[in-house]
């Protein structure tokens, strides 16, 4: 019993972080996005102490074009679906629950930053405010080690941030359950439920596609 309790406590202290997508999750890529917490580089499946991930990560990328702008997401793919009060979620936007690492897990948005550019030496340049500010990983005590994935997208010039009345707008994304059940696949496909969508997918860093804006 004591050994089991110690194992559960140890699990709660670490987060599994990916800068390549976890096999079996969508969208997927084998491309690697260079991400680091201090001097600790994020490699696929690395286990990181929660204390380390409280600092803001460094993201690097060698741009394919000097004029290209990018979007970065950080998403937890391991939220226990049984703990979610679905009556507090918004139909169509958050229901059915977004797929996580398996059928019993869903997602939570931890960071959404548009308007990034990278210099020729891969240094990130950010002059815009995040849509969803960085929320450090924090799996609940006693749960499995959560899987967090960074995604990188190209952003089209027509990009528009979420409308003010959207649960994902800058003013509302931190309220209540609005970060829960963030469906990255719908974000990519742009099926009309998200303020922006992404298409024309191709191999790249972290996850790589083109982002475009449209009215919901």
Contact 209, 199 (CB under 8 A): yes
pLDDT at 188 over 50: yes
In DSSP terms, 112 is beta-bridged to 73, 132
Average pLDDT over residues 174-197: 72
Task: Output the pLDDT for position 48.
Answer: 82
* 117 CB-near residues (< 8 Å, 6+ apart): 63, 68, 69, 70, 124, 125, 126
Average pLDDT over residues 88-109: 92
Tokens of 2: 């004591």
Select the more confidently predicted residue: 134 or 141.
134
The reply to whether the predicted model has a pTM over 0.85 is no
Task: Output the pLDDT for position 172.
Answer: 92
pLDDT band at 199 (very low <50, low <70, confident <90, very high): very low
Give the number of other CB atoms < 10 A from CB of residue 23: 8
Which residue do the tokens 């210099």 mark?
A: 119
Select the more confidently predicted residue: 205 or 137.
137
CA 12 to chain centre: 20
Euclidean distance between CA atoms 53 and 214, whole angstroms: 33
CA 118 to chain centre: 19
* 126 CB-near residues (< 8 Å, 6+ apart): 113, 115, 116, 117
Task: Output the pLDDT for position 139.
Answer: 86
CATH for 2-213, among 3.30.70.20, 3.40.50.720, 3.40.50.1400, 3.90.280.10? 3.90.280.10
Q: What is the mean pLDDT of the chain?
A: 75
Task: Output the pLDDT for position 87.
Answer: 95
Per-residue pLDDT of 55-65, as tens digits, reads 999 988 887 77
Domain boundary assignment for the chain? 2-213
Q: Within the chain, where are the H helices?
A: 2-12, 50-53, 184-189
């Amino acid at each position: 019993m004591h050994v089991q309790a110690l194992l559960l406590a140890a699990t709660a202290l670490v987060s599994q972080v990916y800068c390549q997508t976890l096999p079996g999750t969508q969208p997927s890529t084998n491309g690697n996005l260079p991400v680091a917490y201090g001097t600790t580089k994020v490699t696929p499946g690395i286990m990181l102490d929660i204390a380390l991930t409280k600092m803001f990560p460094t993201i690097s990328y060698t741009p394919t074009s000097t004029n290209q702008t990018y979007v970065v997401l950080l998403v937890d793919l391991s939220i226990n679906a049984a703990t979610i009060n679905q009556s507090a979620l918004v139909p169509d936007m958050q229901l059915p629950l977004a797929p996580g690492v398996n059928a019993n897990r869903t997602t939570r948005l931890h960071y959404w930053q548009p308007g990034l550019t990278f210099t020729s030496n891969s240094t990130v340049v950010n002059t815009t405010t995040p849509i969803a500010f960085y929320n450090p990983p924090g799996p609940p005590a006693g749960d499995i080690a959560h899987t967090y994935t960074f995604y990188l997208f190209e952003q089209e010039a027509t990009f528009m941030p979420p409308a003010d009345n959207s649960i994902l707008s800058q003013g509302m994304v931190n309220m209540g359950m609005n970060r829960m059940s963030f469906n990255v696949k719908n974000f990519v496909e742009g099926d009309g439920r998200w303020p922006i969508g992404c298409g024309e997918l191709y191999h790249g860093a972290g996850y790589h596609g083109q982002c475009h804006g449209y009215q919901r």
